[in-house]
Amino acid sequence: MRRTPLLVASAVATTATALALAAAPPAVACGGFFCNAQTQSPIIQAGERVLFARHDGVVTMHVEVVYQGDPTQFGWILPVAEVPRDASGALVPLDQVLGISTQTLFPRLQALTDPVFAVNNTFDATPSACEDKGVPVGATVNFDTSSADTVSTSDASASPPPAVVVLSEAQVGPYDAQLIHATRSDALYAWLNDNGYLQDPAAQPLLDHYIAGGFDFIGIRLQNGRATGDIRPLALTLGETAPCVPLRLTQIAAAKDMPILVWVLGDARAVPKNFINAQLNDAAFAFPGGGDYQGLVSQALDEAGHRAWVTELAGPPPVMTLLPGYSESAFDAATELDALLLATGVGMSDPEVASVIEAAIPKPADLHGYPYESCNYAQPWDGCADKDGEHVTTDAEFRSYIAYYVSRDDLPVDLPALKEALRREVVAPRQGIEALFRGARKITRFFALLDPTEMTRDPIFAENPDLPDVDNRHTIDTVIRTDANCDQYVDVTYADGRERRVLCGGFCGFPAISPVPGESPLRWPEVLDEAGAARPFDPSQASDVDALLDDAVLGSPSIPASFGFREPAKASALPLPRVETASSSGCAGGGGGAGASLVALALTLILALRRRHGTATT
């Protein structure tokens, strides 16, 4: 089978409010492909988050979709490099290619894989002469801080084939989906506008790029009667492809330094085939916590040639649990709504479960009464202002206690159909994702911040079984020592073996290690290919390397063998200020240091107070 890049979602916003690929809360007014959104984590604020999984000879992509606006004007377009066909050459049904994912995936995945900056701290043995001055004795502590007309294919005609053809259609979750083939960008652009996919005029030449490359497109619209709250992440499964993000389309809606997170599950570590990889320099970051991590990564990527990724993690996948407490046997055996909700393990507190339940059991317009006839259950509590029979049941009360109202009012419930809907829209997608994580040997996480002007190439992610794992945990070792004046200082050892000394000017406490002044956040740029070791190079060659990577294709070396890589400069030594070695004479005499001065001052104050007290009472 032809190995071609799988291009991830290009979003087309249809009003001034826009579609975004990221986590809640959604951003407003993106107006194009891959719109920006906001996701706050302790370290990384992600604009777009995408997961690829290689398994059983195919690649599955999961991508978030967040949208604010009129649900009737929601539209989305995904370019696909390879139209799925079965063994006979017939198109695979679209609902077997496109499915719904879950909103719970990316917040959990990001939390499990975020970078951590930790300090392993040890107190060195304190000189005995300093112990009575309040200097602490030995202990070890660990500190963590943790993006025209349409005709059916059955329409036989002797005239030239139409420029836009809908190859297949399906209903997928809350969406109506179409597989679209086009031969001209102007025709596709007009068709998209005529069919509710309103676009920026700048999209047309970008569409032309994909049409010229033989790509087709999947379009999705919200079904009639659906609300924006019904929007779900998408899962797309295609053939033997290489994961690829369509940055050319992204540039329409991208903001400056747009953050993008990509995860790749597979048998080996993933690599950015046609982009530079940037190695970070821990000495430029604060410990613990990382300090301005995102700003420093942006600087490192700029120094590495702009079009670059940071590999933040590569190693065994984390355990992914998206259905905690779910019981298959209890789910199948449930004969009442309350038992069914209990069997899901999450109940109505889960927005996706609640969406399915509420679609099947709408709240009656004239519903009255508190849950269990008690205003103590009111949401929010209203102080029993109404009598039970006079109280208009709120939406929150109905959602939280839906099983009670179903039982009390004998509301019609098709339990078998409800089970099937929950299994299809909640259970199966989450179990499928859990299986992807169990079946993968490696997960690789990439992070980039790119300006629209830098989005002129679609990054392709390949695999390299020869490369070592990458730990997302950045750790320094610190030892707190005491000098001859009973003042403390910290000896720091970074992961690259370099040592640094930080003077505390007295008592260190638990150290917070600031970045080394003048240190670049870029350790070196490098090329990672489909085999062999990393190829570090001097940052001055970044523009030349980037130009060569523009022609990189799967199955061939990314950089010609004739290219001469220059070794990056060796890391410079870090500050090691001289200190006096601690000795018994140095501390016993009380000579001079900050600790001794404070003790002397305290004794002086005590003596003065005693004298004043004595004078006043005689």
Range scoring the smallest mean pLDDT among 18-22, 289-293, 324-328, 422-426:
18-22
pLDDT at 534 over 50: yes
Q: What is the pLDDT of residue 224?
A: 84
> Residues 248, 427: contact at Cβ < 8 Å?
no
The per-residue pLDDT for 78 is 82
Please answer whether residues 344 and 326 qualify as being in contact, where contact means their C-beta atoms are separated by less than 8 angstroms: yes
Strands 308-315 and 442-450: antiparallel
Residue 193: per-residue pLDDT: 85
* Cβ atoms of 218 and 65 closer than 8 Å: no
The rounded distance, in Å, linking the Cα atoms of 261 and 449 is: 9
- Does residue 357 register a pLDDT over 60? yes
Mean pLDDT of 552-565: 95
- Phi and psi for 545 in degrees, rounded to 5? -65, -45
Mean local confidence (pLDDT), 341-361: 91
pLDDT digits (tens, 9 = 90+) for 136-151: 444 444 444 443 333 3
Contact (CB, 8 A) for 79 and 216: yes
Report the distance separating Cα 47 and Cα 264, nearest Å: 17
Confidence label for 427 from pLDDT (cuts 50, 70 and 90): very high
DSSP string for 379-406: SS---S-S-GGGPBPPHHHHHHTHHHHH
pLDDT above 90 as % of the chain:
48
> Distance (Å, rounded) from C-alpha 16 to C-alpha 19?
10
Asked which of 119-128, 129-138, 432-441 is least confident by mean pLDDT, the reply is: 129-138
Whole-structure pTM value:
0.81
Binning pLDDT at 50, 70 and 90, where does residue 581 land? low
Q: What was the pLDDT predicted at 238?
A: 78
Residues 217-236, mean pLDDT to the nearest whole number: 86
Give yes or no for residue 500 having a pLDDT over 80: yes
In this model, does residue 383 exceed pLDDT 70?
no
Contact 284, 496 (CB under 8 A): no
| pLDDT of amino acid 159 | 59
**Burial classification of residue 15, based on how many CB atoms lie within 10 Å of its CB (0-12 exposed, 13-18 middle, 19 or more buried):** middle
Average pLDDT of the chain, as a whole number: 80
**Half-sphere exposure of 491 toward its Cβ, with a 13 Å CA cutoff?**
11
Residue 2's Cβ-count burial label (10 Å; 0-12, 13-18, 19+) is exposed
Query: What is the crossing angle of helices 415-422 and 337-344, to 10°?
Result: 10
Q: What average pLDDT does the segment 105-116 reach?
A: 94
| CA distance linking residue 460 with residue 243, whole number of Å | 6
| Banded model confidence at residue 240, pLDDT cuts 50, 70, 90 | low
**Pairing label, strands 522-527, 116-123:** unpaired
DSSP annotation of 222 reads: E
Q: Residue 237: pLDDT above 70?
A: yes
Domain ranges of the chain: 362-410, 584-617
Give the model's pLDDT for residue 506. Answer: 80
**Cα 42 to chain centroid, rounded:** 12
Question: Comparing 201-210, 493-502, 588-597, which segment has the lowest mean pLDDT?
Answer: 588-597
Residue 158 scores a pLDDT above 50: no
Confidence of residue 106 (pLDDT cuts 50, 70, 90): very high
DSSP letter string over 465-503? Answer: TTSPPB-SEEEEEEEEEE-TTS-EEEEEE-TTS-EEEEE
Whether the pLDDT of residue 555 is over 70: the answer is yes
Are residues 233 and 104 in contact, defined by beta-carbon separation less than 8 angstroms? no
pLDDT for res 50: 93
